[in-house]
Structure 1
Amino acid sequence: MRVAIAGAGNVGRSIASELLANGHQVLLIDRDPRAIKTESVPDAEWLLADACELSSLEEAGLDSCDAAIAATGDDKVNLVHSLLAKTEFGVPRTVGRVNHPRNEWMFDDLWGVDVAVSTPRLMCALVEEAVTVGDLVRLFQFRKGNSNLVEMTLPDDSPAVGQRVGALTFPPAVVLVAIIRDGRATAPQRDAALEGGDELLFVTDPEHERELAELLTPNHVRPSVIDNTVGI
């Protein structure tokens, strides 16, 4: 897979290194000469150019890319690059980095963004997931369907503690996908008993999130689910 990354800062270079390690081809684009540090990612292609100019993207061969990642620190640049990649060059998949939460609403298909990654919201979600016990935390939204990835760490007083997974009746459109215990994730087994402190990951219809929370922790339910959604 060939991937173009707009923005060769720390974020862009880190993404490039991971993609190269997984066997993909990577093109890094940046208009700042100081960002062109070819020795930092020697296996990538590098282009000193404006990622929002059609001529530069034509030179980059963006139409031959399978994915375009807008990873600059400027939301306006990320939106324009995503829009051009999608509408002018027909890139099948675009990913846009959101730097400021107030701009999240613009990162959608109208601007050519298939996947929006909000750095502040992602960090908040990870913090909530790490420290919250007894509350349902919404982590990710699957934009291609009406489903969310949610997490709950079971408190010791949950009525689900000691119950077999197969004995629990979850709401419709709720699927338990993993149980994390002692730092290890396992696939849920019908005869496995839940324990206090278990971290449960569900894919669920948003309409049934509160019902799920009431089932697992009726004494902990907040007025609404903690929403730290990152769209994917």
Structure 2
Amino acid sequence: MRVAIAGAGAVGRAIARELIENGHDVLLIDRSVTAVKPERVPEASWLLADSCELSSLEEAGLDSCDVVIAATGDDKANLVTSLLAKTEFGVPRTVGRVNHPDNEWLFTEAWGVDVNVSTPRIMSALVEEAVTVGDLVRLFTFRKGNANLVEMTLPDDSPYVGKAAGLVPLPENCQLVTILRDGQVYPPNEEQPLESGDELLFVVAEDSEDELQNLLAPRAVGR
């Protein structure tokens, strides 16, 4: 898979290294001379250019890319890059980095963004996930599927502690993905009894989240 990453800062370089380790062909684009240092990620291709300029993206060969990641520290640049990639070059998949939470509402398909990644939202979710028991925590949004990856640490007073996972009447458009317990990952099993402190991961439609919360931890609602 060929991936172009706009923004060769710490975030862009980290993404590039991960993708290269997984066998992908990566191009890093940045308009700053000081940022373009091929020795930092020698396995990647590098281009000194402004990703907001159509001519630069033509030079980068975006029409041959499978994915474009707009990972600069400037939300305006990330939106313009995503929009040009999608509308002018027909890139199948675009990912936009959201730096400021007030701008998150802009990172939609209307601006050419298939998936937005909000650093503030992720950090907030990770904090909540680490300290919250009995509350549904949204970890990730699947924009095209209108669904979210959510987590709940099952509280002591959940009505389903000690009951088999298969007996939980999950809402429509909801799927238990995995159970995390004592540092181990357990695949969903209808006969697997749930325990207090289990971390449950679900993929669930947004309009079913409240129903899932009420089902698993009704006393947590309204806290």
With the length of structure 2 as denominator, give the TM-score of the two structures. 0.96
CA contact (8 A) 2:115 2:142 kept: no
Residue in 2 that maps onto 1:188: 188
Residue in 1 that maps onto 2:140: 140
CA contact (8 A) 1:26 1:45 kept: yes
Deviations, residues 33-68 of structure 1 (Å, cap 9, x unaligned)? 110111110010011111111111111111111111
Quote the offset at 1:207 in angstroms.
2.3
Paired amino acid for 2:22: N
Quote the offset at 1:219 in angstroms.
1.3
Structure 1 range deviating more: 110-119 or 198-207: 198-207
Which ranges of structure 2 fall in alignment gaps of 5 or more residues? none
Q: Distance in 1 between matches of 2:208 and 2:77?
A: 37
Residue in 2 that maps onto 1:52: 52
Structure 1 range deviating more: 158-167 or 138-147: 138-147
Structure 1 range deviating more: 51-60 or 137-146: 137-146
Partner of 1:102, secondary structure, is helix
Q: Distance in 2 between matches of 1:37 and 1:161?
A: 54
Residue in 2 that maps onto 1:121: 121
Paired amino acid for 2:48: L
Residue in 2 that maps onto 1:169: 169
Q: Distance in 1 between matches of 2:138 and 2:157?
A: 22
Quote the offset at 1:128 in angstroms.
0.8
Structure 1: 4+ residue segments shifted above 3 A: none
Deviations, residues 193-231 of structure 1 (Å, cap 9, x unaligned)? 1111000111122222222212211211137xxxxxxxx
Structure 1 range deviating more: 100-109 or 143-152: 143-152
Quote the offset at 1:138 in angstroms.
1.8
Q: Distance in 1 between matches of 2:119 and 2:106?
A: 15
Residue in 2 that maps onto 1:27: 27
Quote the offset at 1:147 in angstroms.
1.9
Among all aligned residue pairs of Structure 1 and Structure 2, give the percentage whose two residues are the same amino acid. 70
Paired amino acid for 1:18: E
CA contact (8 A) 1:133 1:154 kept: yes
CA contact (8 A) 2:68 2:93 kept: yes
Residue in 1 that maps onto 2:218: 218
CA contact (8 A) 2:28 2:45 kept: yes
Structure 1 range deviating more: 168-177 or 157-166: 168-177
Paired amino acid for 2:166: G
Q: How many residues align?
A: 223
Quote the offset at 1:171 in angstroms.
2.1
Which ranges of structure 1 fall in alignment gaps of 5 or more residues? 224-232
Quote the offset at 1:167 in angstroms.
2.1
Q: What's the C-alpha RMSD, in Å, of the aligned pairs?
A: 1.2
Tell me: higher relative CO, structure 1 or 2? Use CA pairs within 8 A at least 6 residues apart: 1
CA contact (8 A) 2:114 2:144 kept: no
